Every structure is written in C-alpha cells, then in structure tokens.
C-alpha cells in the first residue's frame, strides 16, 4: 500500500474536533459549535496557563528549546522517572509516528477497536508491515484480555496498547498491563502503552515501569486533561537504549515555545486538576443516570468520554450536526459498526443539550 493510498484512506476528518468544516458548512462562527467529538477537558485551559501564554508572546522571536529540557526535567520529577528517558513532541501522535519510523516494525499487534493512527503510522513506515488484530468483544465491554493479548503478541516485534482504550474508555488495570509488558520482554516485542487519557485515572499508569523493561514504551498526552489541543504537547518515556535512536529520526523544534511554557504551568496547577476531577466525576454520574433512564446503551468508561450504541446512528449524527452539535462517528473504527458514536463529557448545560437531542432522536 502506497503512502498516497494510506493518506486517501485515512482522512484527518475521521478524528474528532473538526469544528472548522462544520462551522463553514452551517455558516456559523466556530465558537457556536458544541463539540462532543473531541474528548477534551470541559474546563478549557486554566487561567494560570492563559496568563503564562500571554506573558511569553514577547519571546516568540527566539527558537524553542529543541530538547524541551526544562519540560523533560519537570515531567521526570512529576512522574518519578528519569528525565533522560523522556522525549517531548507535538502531541503524543507525533511520537507514534516517530516510533514507527525509527523501529520499522514488520509484524504489529493492534487491538480492534482502538486509535486508528497506530496502523496508519506503521503502514507509512513500512509498506510490507503485517498487522494482527486482538479482536475485542462487545459482550465483554470491549475489555482487553491480557492472556489473549499475549497469545496474539507472539511473533510480533511491536504491539500497541491504548489504555484507557479509545474509543471505549475502558481501563486495563496496572497488573494486567504489567503482565503483558513482562511477556513482551520475554518475546522481545516492543509494547507501546498509549496512556493519552491516563490523567483521568492516574492510578493505572505503568510509566515508572519503563526503567526496568527494555521493551516497554509509555506515551502520554498533555492535550486531553490540560486542554492544550491547539498547542499540541505530549511526551514519551522510553528505555534509555532507544532514546538516541529515536532522536535520530525526530524533526527539530516540533514542540513550540508556548506549548512548552503552557505545559510547565499546567503541571503545577493542582487547583485546576482537582476541579477537573470533581467536574468529570459529577458529570459522568449525571450522564450515566440519564443514559439508564432514557434506555441509551453505553459502555461504562474510566475516561472522559463514552461509547454509545444507538439505532440509526448515521441519521442521528447528521441531525445533530445540523444543530451545531458534533459527536464522533465510530464506524471508521475497526471492530465497530455504524451504530456506535463516541461523546465527550462536557459541562452540565451542554450535557443537558445532548441528552435532550439524543432522546428526541431515539423516540423519532
């Protein structure tokens, strides 16, 4: 498969957050779109981050630190890992592509359903890559079974594990991930644990286990929990023996000055983090209670989004879009059909609006 074919097949419009196309189609300002398709902290960026961004405008004539040294050091202290094992990037998605480009895996294990960029990155890096599927079952809430995953991992040189998984929101406990990681070490298979949404359930992270496992890689995002999507910031924790190899393939200056400064400030804003946990907990309870009352089928989630199964999902997506409400069409995920949508957890007024419209559509 050529790179051109891959690009045509995997359009960026498949992902959530494309408010620009919808606003243009409806002829309304972008800030009038209610976006449930991107699972971002509904608080938006913190006031401290906003002020820090404004204070750094005068320094934009300088190139950003290419190594993001201060941010790496701070992240190391924050997560209890060696800062020399950290590589920062333009969101964790850049690092997914960097890993594929540097390691060029030939046999890859990817769950279904899960984040679509793993396969795209691997196919772009190696046109002859073979992809094995760990097929997740709806009857089990699409949970990852460690034993099945390990069995499928045999013969692979890389495996991607999204945890909590996107689009299901299901968290595989730390013991389960470490069981897979230990098996990966024995099989000499790189396990890439993508913890993009782990800030919403931090007790599940295996980031501190990288030091003892030369086959374990952990990716983290700053864009979901801290709402820095527009700035793009993420990082990976890598075995030390891989760091130099990866940096040889990395483009310079991919994490800009404002992204670095904003990330530093966000990590120090504990009040913002506490308010986020309280809001998400409260609104998830509210949504789940109303899903149950309304008969809307949902997968219990450990993250800040839900996978819903509704009849005539395609019609519902189109009707919601006409009203300026975006939800994620999940028919593009392998392992899901056209009856699934994903919705983010937002503030109460927006959650009420979505529930009202979903209930109306379900009764129509």
DSSP labels, 18-53: -HHHHHHHHTS-GGG-EE-SS---TT-S-HHHHHHH
Report pTM.
0.93
User: In this structure, which CATH number among 3.90.1150.10, 3.40.640.10, 3.30.2130.10, 3.40.50.720 belongs to the domain 49-267?
Assistant: 3.40.640.10
- Is the pLDDT confidence value at 15 over 80? no
CB 43 within 8 A of CB 227: yes
Which one is predicted more confidently, 29 or 84?
A: 84
**Rounded mean pLDDT of the chain?**
93
Q: In 3-state terms, what secondary structure has residue 206?
A: coil
* % of the chain at pLDDT higher than 70: 95
- Is the pLDDT confidence value at 4 over 80? no
Nearest to 342, CA basis, from 211, 164, 78: 164
Domain 3-45+270-363 has CATH 3.90.1150.10: yes
Predicted pLDDT at 364: 63
pLDDT tens digit string along 301-329?
Answer: 999 999 999 988 999 999 999 999 999 99
pLDDT confidence tier of residue 20, bands split at 50, 70 and 90 = confident
Q: Classify the C-alpha dihedral 83-89-95-99 as positive or negative.
A: negative
Beta-carbon-side half-sphere exposure of residue 319 (alpha carbons within 13 Å):
14
Predicted pLDDT at 11: 46
Q: Where are the domains of the chain?
A: 3-45+270-363, 49-267
């Amino acid at each position: 498969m050529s790179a051109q074919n891959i690009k045509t097949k995997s359009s960026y419009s498949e992902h959530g957050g494309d408010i620009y196309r919808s606003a243009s189609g409806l002829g309304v300002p972008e800030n009038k779109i209610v976006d449930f398709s991107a699972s971002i902290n509904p608080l938006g960026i913190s006031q401290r981050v906003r002020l820090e961004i404004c204070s750094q405008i005068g320094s934009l004539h300088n190139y950003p630190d290419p190594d993001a040294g201060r941010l790496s050091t701070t992240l190391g202290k924050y997560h209890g890992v060696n800062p020399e094992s950290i590589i920062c990037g333009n969101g964790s998605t850049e690092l997914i592509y960097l890993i594929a480009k540097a390691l060029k895996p030939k046999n890859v294990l990817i769950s279904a359903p899960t984040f679509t960029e793993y396969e795209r990155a691997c196919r772009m890096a190696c046109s002859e890559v073979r992809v094995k599927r760990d097929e997740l079952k709806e009857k089990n809430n699409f949970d990852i079974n460690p034993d099945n995953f390990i069995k499928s991992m045999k013969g692979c040189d890389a495996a991607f594990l999204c945890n909590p998984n996107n689009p299901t929101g299901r968290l595989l406990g730390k013991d389960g991930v470490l069981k897979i990681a230990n098996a990966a070490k024995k099989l000499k298979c790189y396990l890439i644990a993508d913890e993009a949404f782990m800030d919403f359930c931090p007790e599940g992270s295996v980031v501190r286990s990288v030091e003892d496992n030369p086959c374990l890689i952990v990716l983290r995002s700053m864009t979901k929990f801290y709402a820095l999507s527009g700035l793009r910031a993420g990082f990976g924790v890598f075995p030390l023996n891989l760091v130099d190899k990866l940096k040889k393939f990395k483009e310079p200056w991919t994490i800009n000055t404002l992204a670095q400064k904003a990330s530093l400030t966000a990590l120090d804003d504990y009040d913002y983090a506490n308010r986020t946990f309280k809001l998400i907990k409260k609104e998830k309870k509210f949504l789940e209670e109303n899903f149950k009352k309304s008969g809307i089928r949902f997968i219990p989630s450990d993250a800040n989004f839900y996978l819903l199964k509704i009849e005539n999902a395609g019609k519902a997506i189109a009707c919601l879009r006409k009203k300026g409400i975006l939800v994620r069409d999940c028919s593009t995920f392998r392992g899901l059909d056209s009856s699934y949508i994903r919705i983010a957890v937002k503030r109460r007024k927006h959650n009420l609006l979505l529930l009202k419209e979903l209930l109306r559509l379900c009764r129509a």
